[in-house]
Amino acid sequence: MATNPSQYAHPEALVETEWLEKHLEDDRIRIVESNEDVLLYDTGHIPGAAHIDWRADLQDPVIRDYIRPEKFAELCSKNGITPDTTCIFYGDKANWWACYALWAFRLFGHEKVKILNGGRDKWKAEQRPMTKERSTYPPTKYPVPKKRFDQEIRAFADEALAQSKTKRPLIDVRSPGEFKGEITHMPEYPQEGVLRGGHIPGAKSVPWKTATNDDNTFKSADELKKIYIDNAGVKPDTDTVVYCRIGERSSHTWFVLTYLLGLDNVRNYDGSWTEWGNKVGAPIEKGA
């Protein structure tokens, strides 16, 4: 946790739009756009930004898992990224998917990562430069990561179950209706084949967007501490697991807890409800 609760634990993990506009030509950074709407990049993006498709670029095309370390190295190499490159992620939906891409980069051990505070919507609202020109970069030779950090920042179903049984913090970041079991998908989104609704027993409901302001920037450290530490039972000295539907909304909360509040023991259960809600024998609670 930050020693001064009014300050983010890692303020360097955020960059502001004004700063980024002044550093568009900085060859030490790579701006990365990652959106829910994968077609949005071609309608206009920040000059020099690479486009990383959360599904096509980060997901294994056959099994439900992330790409292998060799593929991650290829992805970085073709986008001109080295281990020393600072990757600044941004996107639509209050950086929901940008945080997912950032979390995936951390899964492969890339350390220099930041989020553009306010994301794509704030950049556009301020009428900052946009282009439709696709960016190209001299290829690099990104080394193949020696491992994926599955044990450190990722949780699996058996670990989520253990978290539930031992009554350690479990944060469900989906909508209240999904948490209660009234619906099995996000409001205004299609059903994706989940057979059961509800939540993992013992989980606390804290919708992911609770952490953001109306302009899609993150709330203050004091506000975030009240939301998660004071009201949701997250404890700095106890492991926390966050989950949603496929791990994308919960990666936003993972970023908040890890970088803005400074917890070093938070894991993202990316199997989330599309796994749990279809898993034979998995315990489920309904209601608030």
Residues noted as catalytic: 244
Q: Is the dihedral of CA 101, 103, 105, 111 positive or negative?
A: positive
The tokens of 66 are what?
């992330």
- The single-letter DSSP state of residue 281 is T
| Local structure of residue 252 (DSSP, 8 states) | H
Query: Is 32 in contact with 87 (CB distance < 8 Å)?
Result: yes
**Contact (CB, 8 A) for 234 and 205:** no
Residues 26 and 46 sit within 8 Å (Cβ to Cβ): no
List the Cα angle 264/114/100 in 5-degree steps.
75
Beta strands across the sheet bearing 240-243: 154-155, 266-269, 240-243, 170-172, 204-205
Report whether 87 contacts 109 (CB < 8 A): no
Q: What is the DSSP string of 167-189?
A: T--EEE-S-HHHHHTS-SS-TTS
DSSP string covering 95-146, please? GHHHHHHHHHHHHTT---EEEETTHHHHHHHTT---B-SPP------PPPPS
Helix axis angle for 248-255 and 96-107, nearest 10°, is 80
Euclidean distance between CA atoms 233 and 241, whole angstroms: 12
